[in-house]
Chain A
Amino acid sequence: QSALTQPASVSGSPGQSITISCSGTSGDVGSYNRVSWYQQHPGKAPKLMIYEGNRRPSEVSNRFSGSKSGNTASLTISGLQAEDEADYYCCSFVGSTTLVIGGGTKLTVL
């Protein structure tokens, strides 16, 4: 299985919105509504931001949202804040028990 494809980097200014894409295939992202997104600050463990494509854990800000179209999932962050600067990873199931993770995207808040 190949890693999901994410842009290496994205950037935006405070207050703006950005979108990070996660491209897969009909065997992973396209087949299951079980894409999750993770935020990782330097030296820290990843943190769950979105699950089941568009659901947010209660502790995550509503500035974070997820969506999917075909074989591509997306994470949108609105009202960018300095604290959003981090690496972001998408993850999808392949079948019911195997997982594949994207290569990661570095978000820079200008």
Chain B
Amino acid sequence: QLQLQESGPGLVKPSETLSLTCSVSSGSISSSTSYWRWIRQPPGKGLEWIGSIYYNGDTYYNPSLKSRVTISVDTSKNQFSLKLTSVAAADTAIYYCARGNQLLGGSFDIWGQGTMVTVSS
């Protein structure tokens, strides 16, 4: 069963760049039926889609975050990454990576456990 694992700093200073990586195991990130996504959830609040990437590098971003977000993929490492620039306290959240499965209508069928990122000086 494919698994996802987020990694990265748990604390980022305001105005700096948040960087996270999602490692894909027991499966290939180059699957033609998979999109790789980032979602976040501020403490006590709902889910927010950040963006998606296909193995060929095509990216799709939430319009509200597009100016600050970059998602990239490294097929040699079976990983994809998130960079969010100019962070502020409002970016404090649990960040999840997930797979979008085209065989299931593009739904998020596999999720990582999530990683908490706090923006604070």
Binding site for B on A (CB under 8 A): 1, 3, 33-34, 36, 38, 40, 45-48, 51-52, 55, 57, 89, 91, 93, 97-104
Binding site for A on B (CB under 8 A): 37, 39, 46-49, 52, 60, 62-64, 96, 104-109, 111-114
Using A34-B105, A45-B112, A51-B107 as known contacts, say yes or no to A97 and B46 having CB atoms under 8 A apart: no
- B46 contacts A101, CB within 8 Å? yes
Separation of A101 and B19 alpha carbons in the complex (Å): 23
- A34 contacts B106, CB within 8 Å? yes
- B47 contacts A99, CB within 8 Å? no
Contacts of A91 in B (CB 8 A): 49, 107-108
- A51 contacts B46, CB within 8 Å? no
- A48 contacts B46, CB within 8 Å? no
**Which residue among B48, B52, B104 has the maximum number of chain A CB atoms within 10 Å of its CB?**
B104
Contacts of B111 in A (CB 8 A): 45-47
**Which residue among A40, A45, A57 has the maximum number of chain B CB atoms within 10 Å of its CB?**
A45
Using A1-B63, A89-B46 as known contacts, say yes or no to A52 and B104 having CB atoms under 8 A apart: yes
| Extra A-B contacts (18), CB below 8 Å, given A1-B62, A46-B96 | A1-B63, A1-B64, A34-B105, A34-B107, A38-B47, A45-B96, A46-B47, A46-B111, A48-B104, A51-B104, A51-B105, A51-B109, A55-B105, A57-B109, A89-B47, A91-B49, A101-B47, A101-B49
